[in-house]
Chain A
């Protein structure tokens, strides 16, 4: 069965500091991986996808198939990055879009 694990429930960093959100997955095939973000009082929205390999709002994520990880990084956190972040997996076979437990990021001034 596929599973997505985000080990940190809360990350608190100061503005300008680097931030890294961990995401580990278990799936035997080649999944498509995503990071979604939920800002306060807003709906979930896509932050970035593995397949597009782009940087959004300064965030990047690298897929490490050996470690089955898809960690999200930003070198200099901003206060507007405070939000709930979810890692998600879409399997190669089957159609379930599975989310991790989420990590709340708090960027302090």
Chain B
């Protein structure tokens, strides 16, 4: 029972490089979320999805893109990484509104 799995766990990027973070869930959840966690800022919502093929912007979407081509996967892309995107990224999923969200283990990204 894997739950929510994020790939990779750690990554160091140079400014301007691109990368994709993968989130996979095996619970048949409709909703998926991407958050970033920064000291003193808590969890801030980047993008979310309420079903396969749909995405929506959260609080801090600039510099990120997402795709939900398959129900079980939610990809977060950084087209041109900046040092301000150094953070810990968390993916989460839930059945729907008001339901418990299950989290991945996090991805620690450093942009130098």
Residue ranges of A at the interface with B (Cβ–Cβ < 8 Å): 6, 9, 32, 34, 36, 43-46, 49, 51, 86, 88, 90, 92, 95-102
Contact of B84 with A by CB under 8 A: no
Q: In the complex the two chains form, is B97's CB within 8 Å of A99's CB?
A: no
Q: Which residue of B lies closest to A31 (CB)?
A: B98
Q: How far is the CB of A40 from chain B (nearest CB, A)?
A: 13
In chain B, positions 44-69 with a C-beta closer than 8 Å to chain A are: 44-45, 48, 50, 56, 58-59
Q: In the complex the two chains form, is B48's CB within 8 Å of A51's CB?
A: no
Q: In the complex the two chains form, is A101's CB within 8 Å of B40's CB?
A: yes
Q: In the complex the two chains form, is A97's CB within 8 Å of B42's CB?
A: no
Contacts A44-B90, A44-B103, A45-B103 given; does A97 touch B40 at CB 8 Å: no
Chain A residues contacting B89 (CB-CB under 8 Å) are: none
Q: In the complex the two chains form, is B100's CB within 8 Å of A46's CB?
A: yes
Q: In the complex the two chains form, is B42's CB within 8 Å of A43's CB?
A: no
Q: Which residue of A lies closest to B50 (CB)?
A: A95
Chain B residues contacting A51 (CB-CB under 8 Å) are: 98
Q: In the complex the two chains form, is A96's CB within 8 Å of B58's CB?
A: yes
Contact of B2 with A by CB under 8 A: no
Chain B residues contacting A97 (CB-CB under 8 Å) are: 31, 33, 45, 48, 92, 94, 101
Q: How far is the CB of B112 from chain A (nearest CB, A)?
A: 24
Q: In the complex the two chains form, is B48's CB within 8 Å of A96's CB?
A: yes
Q: How far is the CB of A7 from chain B (nearest CB, A)?
A: 12
Chain A residues contacting B100 (CB-CB under 8 Å) are: 34, 46, 49
Q: In the complex the two chains form, is B35's CB within 8 Å of A99's CB?
A: yes
Q: In the complex the two chains form, is A6's CB within 8 Å of B101's CB?
A: no
Chain B residues contacting A6 (CB-CB under 8 Å) are: 42
Task: State A99–B103 Cα separation when bound (angstroms).
Answer: 13
